[in-house]
Amino acid sequence: MTSPMPLQAFGCTGAQVSRVALGCMGLAGTWDPNAVTPENISKAIKAVETALQSGITFFDHADIYGGTACETVFKECLKALPGSREKMFVATKVGIRRGYYEHEPEYIRNSIEGSLTRLGLDYVDLYQLHRPDPLTHPAKTAAALDDLVSRGLVRMIGVSNYYPHQVLALRRFLQAPIVSNQIEISLLRLDPVYEGAAGANGDGVLDQCLELGITPLAYSPVGRGWLTGHREVPQDHHQRATIDRLLAVMKELAPAYGGATPAQFAIAWLLRHPAGIIPLVGSTNVNHIKAAAGAAALVLSRTDWYKLWVAARGTNVP
């Protein structure tokens, strides 16, 4: 019998969400909305159903995923799984256009209407700015986001790919709290953790999350698939030595953790951090989803967490 998925508080709110989320970027199985097939939809429904059965309640979208098709396919999932919306925390994002970014108020207002129509929802639980837009003053963006919250179209506001001072600039003008920051973080991308890998600079994102009560959402938590142990790493891959070290340590640790897989170790390593990182698992493979959910029950010891960090850094801690 598997352990139930643990929940955690989300940001500074009273909302409770699953410790592992499903990233829905690949849910449609295509980036062409006109190429979605019944088979794509059936696979998506099974993926969402498996996630729910595994205790995952957090589903993360963006208006550009699948060229908008992922939100549309998710609507079909909700239709096929009656009563599922009440169990879900649904997030989406705005701001990436073809070749540029935009946070102008009119674009934000139009985008949320489009997302809600495609998703078949009256509101989303979390609305995120997908990437910073240097050409829009944060005061204008903040006013638009606060308006969406006041109208009940959005419950909470988050950001994505924001560095600490970009968060502070938006926060200065925003009445609603910033509850999350979605960033790429894994054992192959350490910058947010502290000082980063050898030769890299830390960015302080996780420290700011701890300071301000912001929940970090981690995309690519298994290093863009390189830490699954199922992919042949090219000889000229710039992180090949790091990947080899990490997989070797994971193999060494596996017997002590019930034969945990490399992907589970990669996810558990993020979950162990006190900032309350929520890994976003981007898969429609039901076995991968089940395994990722199982990682929530894997609690790494302090020494084993550091073994993995040292392997990722390529050098001992000072």
Catalytic residues: 65
108, with CB counted inside 10 A (0-12, 13-18, 19+), is: buried
How far from 163 is each of 193, 204, 209, CA to CA, in Å? 13, 8, 11
Residues 6+ apart with CB under 8 A from 195: 201, 202
Residues 6+ apart with CB under 8 A from 8: 16, 17, 19, 215, 276, 278
For the chain, what is the radius of gyration of the CA atoms?
A: 19
